[in-house]
Structure 1
Amino acid sequence: MDTQFGDLDTCNSLPSTNISPTEATLGRHLGRRLVQIGVTDVFSVPGDFNLTLLDHLVAEPGLNLIGCCNELNAGYAADGYARSRGVGACVVTFTVGGLSVLNAIAGAYSENLPLICIVGGPNSNDYGTSRILHHTIGLPDFSQELRCFQTVTCFQAVVNNLDDAHELIDTAISTCIKESKPVYISIGCNLPAIPHPTFSREPVPFSISPKYEFQMQYGSIGWSVGATLGYAQAVPNKRVIACIGDGSFQVTAQDVSTMLRCGQKTIIFLINNGGYTIEVEIHDGPYNVIKNWNYTGLVDAIHNGEGKCWTAKVRCEEELVEAIETITGEKKDCLCFIEVIVHKDDTSKELLEWGSRVSAANGRPPNPQ
């Protein structure tokens, strides 16, 4: 499917519709825009600066709010969602949330993924004052978060008044899709519940093409859990299979709970080889060995009898075959977690070659001055 873009002139020329004042708020307007471009699930972490915005996003028909365990995972989930749907979105709170999600946004930027990062910002009256707010670094300058996002997004919209909110939001979304890069939208916390005449206009027509399904360029450890959550949420009629290393899983394991809460039927193969094998093949050392977890026990604890979940620990090919038969048979309607215990040196020749090349590139001596 070809990607088509509406522009602001087209949007502004559309007639107003019979949207009630309660539906013509800034928050509902943003929600309608997301639904229009195919985003039906938004990954979020609540914070006091975004709570009113979340209220209005929840109220938007067709938009499902997925609460994540932390902002980094919310960003990774939006990344995975974008790889399936063609665009993804996350909502966090100002600075403490924004800086936490930043690494995921940087990964999406490097992978050319359209991702809309929405931040609940300070009260619009506080900009330009000497007031020091919580969730900041203790300075009256609120631009720290914006400056950080400027390097990893293709457009930044700081919405502090209603008159240009419509234009800023539309520009951000259209730029995100046209350039296939993340964008940043900050919404003042006192604005989402307020209506404005421009918010009753029809959304700009968009269509999106699905993109990549794995992260290679950025290579952020821990990406896979959140991305699996987002990808599976984007394709509810399919069963996602994820192969996740033990080191990566330890970074972002919490959001297996969100997978269960959403009723996902993902199959996760946890590769337990005792450490960061990919780093070992580049440069070995004691820092590449991690504490072993009882991974199936952890997932069972997260499951806690709520939702459908099945776990198994396998140590040989026969046990793996048996587990696969189970997860594709009687447990096909469950989230299935298979811990595959392998030797630390059991790796592919491609990884060995890649590690050797990276090691050689990293180890080049300085050029003569």
Structure 2
Amino acid sequence: MASEHWTVGSYLARRLQEAGIGDYFAVPGDYNLVLLDELLSNPDLRMISCCNELNAGYAADGYARATGGPSAVVVTFSVGGLSLLNAVAGAFAEDVPMIAISGGPNTNSEAEWEYLHHTLGEVDYGYQREIFDRVTAEAVRIHHPSLAPVAIDRAIDTAMLRRKPVYIEIASNIANAPTSEPIARSFARQVTSDPNSLAAAVDHAATVLNAAARPVLIAGSKTRAARAEPALRELAKACGYAQAAMPNAKSFLSEAHQNYMGIYWGPVSTPGCGEIVDAADALLFAGPVFTDYTTTGHQLGFNKSRAVIAHPTSAQLGETNYSNVRMDEFLEALTGRLTPNDGAVKAFERVRTPRHLPAPGAADTPLTVRQLFARIQSMLEGDSTLLVETGDSWFNGMDIDLPDGARFEIQMQYGSIGWSVGATLGYALGKQGGRLISCIGDGSFQLTAQEVSTMIRYDANPIIFLINNGGYTIEVEIHDGPYNTIKNWDYAGLIEVFGAGEGKAWGTRATTEGELDAAIAEAQGRDGLCFIEVAIDRDDCNVNLLRWGNQVARNNGRPNRCR
């Protein structure tokens, strides 16, 4: 900051900068306008103005995923905060360190018994903090400038440490109030393991795994939250085990590694992969979460007594739990203790079913989902990211073989349709190098479509494939009804509407293989947003979606056993 005069708002801005944030996402409202002025006074931060609060939250989610650090979103009180809530809940479920910031009513209003706009019509202004307390790791209200530095630092520290969202509410008349200078500090700390617990866990795990004939290593989604991906990859190189990833951990292990089998997802696993995992005599899971979605309706068949499970801050072997064990330190210590073993790799080679991409058809052949994803496969490079929306894109994305270094993004734990549009904005702005490719269904797109205009405004350059099949395909396969059919839009035409003659965005519609090939070639030669609407038959979907949807529907439809 150019001035030595520090306010609560400028203090917050400096702390966001020190935490590694470059862009923050905002929607203005009268309770946060002074705060936005203070944030704008920091030249090292850029405000990204979004169309609504939900989308801004989704964008902050995507930004944090791209940068590996925290993100920030700023909204107004109540009408803004409660619109943001769903995105913050998703970030909590997905272990995304988002800093949700809200303006708040004047500190004098409650004492003077004032009824205020944007509120619930009662003289009670603490409800937003109370609501956010359920979906954040820390929720604070700042009503005095002298208390702001401690509260802000603690909240940001909590977000970084726990990899969860936090909530900071700053009263409208406090944002520009004088406060302490922000003394330089680090927010990158991690607690260390208890040495005795760590040593005992490593000894136990090494004994179990080294005694096995066919051990398997499986990556789970909590590995990223634990910041243990580098340790997991080093272990994978050293141990020689057969390797697999749960669906929401795709790309956490190198898919170019010779021992990588594919996705472990119960009945919809990569062919041969599920059978090898379930038959293994020892399993090393890193950060798994066994939900109805990740297990296809709780259909995993591995023997739990044979599993070593590394959680972010503990390790579990059968009925024995070792607390205060950090995942990355546990995996690092195991790396030097495990005897290389490719027994399960050899077993997989005997049952492996090679996957074949469909050969291109004639130029006038109507498009199919398999032909679309065959083209996406050829577009991916080592610095690419493939982001997929809830729906059929999940399952087609799982069939993609990622080049070493490429990333895959999915919101499987929370599964909020529409997440991908805002997340694409944030990810594209936060990503360093390479191209983001997003696959979004038409039903999901209709929930959050307007944020495409923000991508155009800030020169984001993803390639978006809009899959137009006339409805909510994933819901159709779980439970069909007339509510799964949607009104068709001229999706490609929206690029002209949202651009209004400005920006570098380009859009087109493809109905045949020839049109798709031409569209991809054009997109790869452009440096702005490219939007390709792909027309697909309503009943054309990945066969694994049919299998998965049937199992999830059965799990949802179990008869009531309560008496």
Looking at structure 2, the residues matched to 21 and 138 of structure 1 have their Cα atoms a distance apart, in angstroms, of 40
Cα pair distance change 1:298/1:335, threshold 3 Å: same
- DSSP-derived class of the 1:139 partner: coil
1:131 aligned to 2:82? no
> 3-state DSSP class of the match of 1:187?
strand
**CA distance, structure 1, for counterparts of residue 562 and residue 427 of structure 2:** 48
> 1:206 Cα deviation (Å)?
2.9
Match of residue 445, structure 2, among 238, 249, 254: 249
- 2:123: which partner in 1? 140
CA deviation after TM superposition for structure 1 residue 131, in Å: 1.1
**Shift of the alpha carbon at 1:203?**
3.9
Q: For residues 148-167 of structure 1, what are the structure 2 equivalents within 5 Å? A: 148-167=131-150
Please name the residue that 1:59 is paired with.
41
Q: Is the 8 A contact 1:21 1:195 kept in 2?
A: no
Is contact 1:19–1:200 with CA below 8 Å preserved after alignment? no
SS in 2 for 1:164: helix
Equivalent residues of 1:274, 1:344 under 8 A apart: yes
CA deviations on 1:87-142 (whole Å, 9 max, x unpaired) are 11100000000000000000001101100000011112224442111110110011
1:213 deviates by: 2.6
* Correspondence 1:319-334 to 2 at 5 A: 319-329=515-525, 332-334=526-528
Counterparts of 1:60 and 1:349, CA distance in 2: 51
Deviation at 1:270, TM superposition (A): 0.2
Aligned to 1:169: 152
2:103 to 101, 120, 132: 120
Question: How many residues get paired?
Answer: 348
Instruction: Decide which of 151, 166, 172 is 1:189's aligned counterpart.
Output: 172
Residues 203-242 of structure 1 aligned to structure 2 (within 5 Å): 203-206=185-188, 213-235=409-431, 237-242=433-438
Q: Is the Cα–Cα contact under 8 Å of residues 422 and 451 in structure 2 kept in the other structure?
A: yes
Which residue number corresponds to residue 392 of structure 2?
none
Q: Could you tell me which amino acid in structure 1 is paired with residue 35 of structure 2? A: L
Higher relative contact order (CA 8 A, sep 6+): 1
Residue equivalent to 1:13? none
Letter in 1 for 2:548: W
State the shift of 1:202 in Å.
1.9
Match of 2:77 in 1: 94
TM-score of the aligned structures, taking structure 2 as reference length = 0.60
Does the CA-based 8 Å contact 1:49-1:189 persist in structure 2? yes
Q: 2:88 aligns with which of 99, 102, 105?
A: 105
One-letter amino acid of the structure 1 residue matched with residue 466 of structure 2: L
Q: Shift in Å at residue 236 of structure 1?
A: 5.3
| Structure 2: segments with no counterpart, 5+ residues | 191-222, 226-407
The AA in structure 2 aligned to 1:119 is: S
Q: Which amino acid aligns with 1:340?
A: V
Q: 2:181 matched to which residue of 1?
A: 199
2:28 to 35, 46, 69: 46
Q: What stretches of structure 1 of length at least 5 have no aligned partner?
A: 1-17
| 1:354 equivalent in alignment to 2:336 | no
Larger radius of gyration, structure 1 or 2? 2
Given the alignment of the two structures, is residue 283 of structure 1 paired with residue 265 of structure 2, yes or no? no
Task: Kindly state the Cα deviation for residue 205 of structure 1 after the two structures are TM-superposed.
Answer: 4.4
1:129·1:140 contact (CA, 8 Å) conserved in 2? Answer: no
Given residue 231 of structure 1, which amino acid in structure 2 is its aligned partner?
A: Y
Identical aligned pairs, as a percentage? 53
- Correspondence for 2:495: 299
Task: Say which is worse superposed, 233-242 or 116-125, in terms of deviation.
Answer: 233-242
2:65 matches 1:83: yes
Work out the CA distance in 1 between the residues paired with 2:71 and 2:546. Answer: 34
Report what 1:268 is aligned to.
464
Q: For 2:115 and 2:523, how far apart are their aligned partners in 1?
A: 54
1:21-80 CA distance string (max 9 Å, x none): 43x111111011111111110100000000010001111121000000000000000000
The 8 Å contact of residues 115 and 181 in structure 1, kept in 2 or not, is answered as: yes
